[in-house]
Structure 1
Amino acid sequence: MPKGIPNPAAMYGIYSRSWGFEVSIVRNGVRHHRLFGKASYGGAEQALLHAQDWRDHIVRSVPPQTRSERAEKQRTNNSTGVTGVFHHLAPNGRVRAWMAKTYIAPDEILRTDFSVADLGDDAQALAIRERARQLERMTGLACIHPAEEAIRMGLSAHPAGPREPKRSKSEITRRNNTSGVSGVHFKTPNPSHPGYWLAITYTAGKGSVSKAFSVKTHGAEAARNLAIAERASQLADKLRAEDDALAAGREPASPAPRRQSRGRAATASGAKRNNG
């Protein structure tokens, strides 16, 4: 958006990227940041919903400074050492008066002057004391964006519909995938080979589980369907093994390879031997 014009409420703190959405909100010098890829959430719509949910969580759980705290932040152009306290100088450079000034609202600006000629050295101390009194009139949180108050009140600017869970890396369908199902690939060892469909699932640091289904044995469509079903079974085994490991309080272990059923499928090397 142009400078000075806030983003629409739905996109507050959210930045659209070619791969998905980036959330970035700064609170008291701390940046809260997370990425939501379209591939990880099954499309742009779900990625945006998850980004908005996380943005809302940050807004509600990490509120900004209060207005009075922000008003006490020292500005670079402050020359008195006390925020909201200023001095008036005479032509000869001597301090003529001290002033306490606080912006409360567009129609309420508090200002009190203390003359050095009348009050002497007490003028500065009185201005500092008056500034503290003025700050007591300042209530509420700092206004970071018009959408924040609505978010904190639970008035979400985005749909409350169902959310798809984040996909694991093994569930993401890559752009070079030709089967339409992640972890399912068609292989041809050589140009004369009829090929086979392979279901394979990786576990980080643990290796992989795979099973191949020969096109010659099952036919092209049936082999593909068997590979898809096998892939789903592998993912279920992997998830079950990870859940069991977490329940036992240890690192998730790799799921054990499933035994092959005779006559149902062949390994990749077996497909090559049978059909080569």
Structure 2
Amino acid sequence: MKKVNGQEIIALFEKWSPKRFAMEGDPVGLHIGQLNRPVDKVLVTLDVNEKVVDEAIQQGVNLIIAHHPLIFRPLKNILTDTPQGRLIEKCIKNDISVYAAHTNLDIAPGGVNDMLASKLGLIDTEVVEQTYNEYGLGRIGKPAEKMTLKQFAEHVKSVFGVPTLRFVGNPEKVIRKVAVLGGDGNKYIGAAKRSGADVLVTGDLYYHIAHDAEAMGLAVIDPGHNIEKVMIEGVVEYMMNACKEAGFNVEFLKSEISTEPFNFI
């Protein structure tokens, strides 16, 4: 098995989820460090916070692959007595590079939205909204069995292991087509409705968007943004198989840190 550097690992990753798939302005790619150093261990996480960085240090990780960008807006300074500055300092001092794959991983075939659709048991899936590349955002498909909105909401709650969720619509509405879009799907209720969805499963639903969805006859289920953590297992599985085929000697670890910021009562 061949020892590899970060550049070789990311080149393999980007065959699946190239940066050109990302939505305009999305800050995907390398955020901290460099890719021309040897890499033995890669940690895959939804978010990068200080607990995740501490986990990476304890595990002897050289590279973190995250879904949500650590640096979403340009920094004016790096002050190491602030939470973000302290996190960046820890990464640099411990030679840990951080790479983000966001909307490109959402859009990629087999990426986050396909992972979510698979978890929900959807069949005959298609893209919800075409983007400027050959693929698109969100997935729409049929549930494995006919359910009411209330029953399907319970199904969503169960498969994603969330303690609670919100939904909009008549609980007795029959669900025949389901759209799913990881993260913040507020901009896409119209696209979901046009695609023929009875319900959209997405996160971070705004109050007034909920009213709009209700008015257009679209049910919405909001199990939270954190369900995108399905990407951890998906990325680890994909990359372990890809590295094995390429003869790369590198270990992929699933982050065990919960980055859900909310508590529920």
- TM-score range, shorter-chain basis? under 0.3
TM-score (norm 1): 0.21
TM-score (norm 2): 0.22
Bigger-Rg structure (1/2):
1
Q: For CA contacts below 8 A with separation 6 or more, give which structure has more relative contact order.
A: 2
